[in-house]
Amino acid sequence: MSSGGMTVLLLGSGGREHALAWKMAQSPLVAKIHVLPGNPGMTTNDGRIVCIEGKIDDIVRELKPGLIVVGPEKPMAEGVVDRLETAGFTVLGASKAASQLESSKIFSKEFMLENGIPTAHAVTCDSYDDAVAAVKTWDIEGKGIVIKADGLAAGKGVVVTQDPTEAEKTLHDFMIDTRHPVKAKRVLLEEMLLGREVSAFALCDGERFIPFGYICDHKRVFDGNQGPNTGGMGAFFPKDWPSDAALTFINEKIFSATLRGMNARGTPFKGILFAGLMVDGDDVKVIEFNVRLGDPETQALLPLIETDIVPLFLAAAQGDLSACGAPQISNETAVHVVMASAGYPGTEMRLGEKITLTPNTNDNTQVFFAGVKEKDGNFINSGGRVLGVTARGATLAAAREKAYAGISNIFFNGAHWRRDIGGQ
């Protein structure tokens, strides 16, 4: 690695950030990646990836990074990109105003309706009493309902149900119960869409975008899509789906329309736009927008990207993707399986368990760490989603077999994972 390469600062600590650091470290343009705060599973023996602590303003003054990449949504919603760009740094991420596409489900829904972006019918409720009254008018058993908290909820602020009792309990959990991790003053009630879900990504410079891949993830905690929603229990790349017609529709009617609409508002979108979509044949509707790469989708997608992503990230951050094309995706597929702590996604989890990893000779398998810390020379679990294993293969079946072989080499007390990731 050339000592004259660029210094990159990456914000975040999870599996998405490990995958980003791992991928960017492969670029000949990069000398060193500092991850704030990162986790000990990310660091490399050759010092290319190091984890640091401290206040971001002090760190950027000291490091003077050539590129700053913001991983999670919360710092963007709090305005970190605005602050760093004002200080003269090159940052890949959305402004505070543009982050409303994710930080407010209600803003996002109103934006989609105003700009003719296809999405589910919805009702906004500004209080608990309004929401309870609205739910009583809904044909929940017949058509189902989607309840969304209006704010950032770490992947736990959406409940899909066909049970009226669960719907009312969800409203109470989100809006009344102070012990519940999701706290919402407003909620969005949506019709339940039918079809197959996919996460589509676009790298944006404020005016232009390039498609950045698409991945299917598994949100529910148990096999067969049972149990509560999580931040994601695994993901896979669906070769040859969605159809070319659907992908063209996504680019023209969703990504292009979103960039035009955000520009018209005076809040151009720069960074990575994530459209959570429901696809039924060639018919596509937006479930939600996020303003960053998905986790765990990133961990399935980046190992398939054969292009150096650092020049693309730089061009987007500098506001000019005009000379860039979409990254080259491998003709293989990939499966990513998450190992979670006992009790996840609840609030009572068994943490502090020693993680044992048997060396894996399969060079098609990559372990990405998320909720881990180091103690007495060992990794211990420190969060809900602890780590994940990604494997590539010529077919989904081959990739699944390798991924689960990788999982079998890792042990910690209470670990649980889905056994049907990539089974579609």
CATH code of the domain containing 305: 3.30.470.20
- Tell me whether residue 391 is in a domain: yes
- Tell me whether residue 104 is in a domain: no
Buried b (16+ CB within 10 A) or exposed e, 77-101: beebbbbbbeeebbbbbbbbbbbbb
Q: Residue 388 pLDDT more than 90?
A: yes
From 152, 169, 190, give the residue that closes a domain: 190
For the ranges 174-188, 295-309, 389-403, which has the lowest average pLDDT?
Answer: 174-188
Which CATH number does the domain housing residue 161 bear? Answer: 3.30.1490.20
Report residue 251: phi and psi, to 5°. Answer: -65, -45
User: Do 216 and 283 share a domain, yes or no?
Assistant: yes
Tens digit of pLDDT for each residue in 241-289?
Answer: 999 999 999 999 999 999 999 999 999 999 999 999 999 988 899 999 9
pLDDT in the model for residue 2: 41
Q: Residue 424 pLDDT more than 70?
A: no
Q: Residue 155 pLDDT more than 70?
A: no
CB 367 within 8 A of CB 410: yes
**d(C-alpha 136, C-alpha 275), whole Å:** 30
User: Do 300 and 208 share a domain, yes or no?
Assistant: yes
User: Do 220 and 185 share a domain, yes or no?
Assistant: no
For the ranges 21-25, 149-153, 179-183, 310-314, which has the lowest average pLDDT?
Answer: 149-153
- Tell me whether residue 110 is in a domain: no
- Tell me whether residue 418 is in a domain: no
pLDDT in the model for residue 1: 37
pLDDT in the model for residue 282: 84
Q: Residue 291 pLDDT more than 90?
A: yes
- pTM of structure: 0.92
Domain containing 265 equals: 196-317
Tens digit of pLDDT for each residue in 87-129?
Answer: 999 999 999 999 999 999 889 999 999 999 999 989 999 999 9
Which CATH number does the domain housing residue 67 bear? Answer: 3.40.50.20
Query: How many helices (DSSP H) and strands (DSSP E) are in the chain?
Result: 14, 23
pLDDT band at 61 (very low <50, low <70, confident <90, very high): very high
- Tell me whether residue 102 is in a domain: no
User: Do 150 and 224 share a domain, yes or no?
Assistant: no
Which structure tokens are listed for 134?
A: 């609205």
Q: Residue 25 pLDDT more than 80?
A: yes
Total domains present in the chain: 4
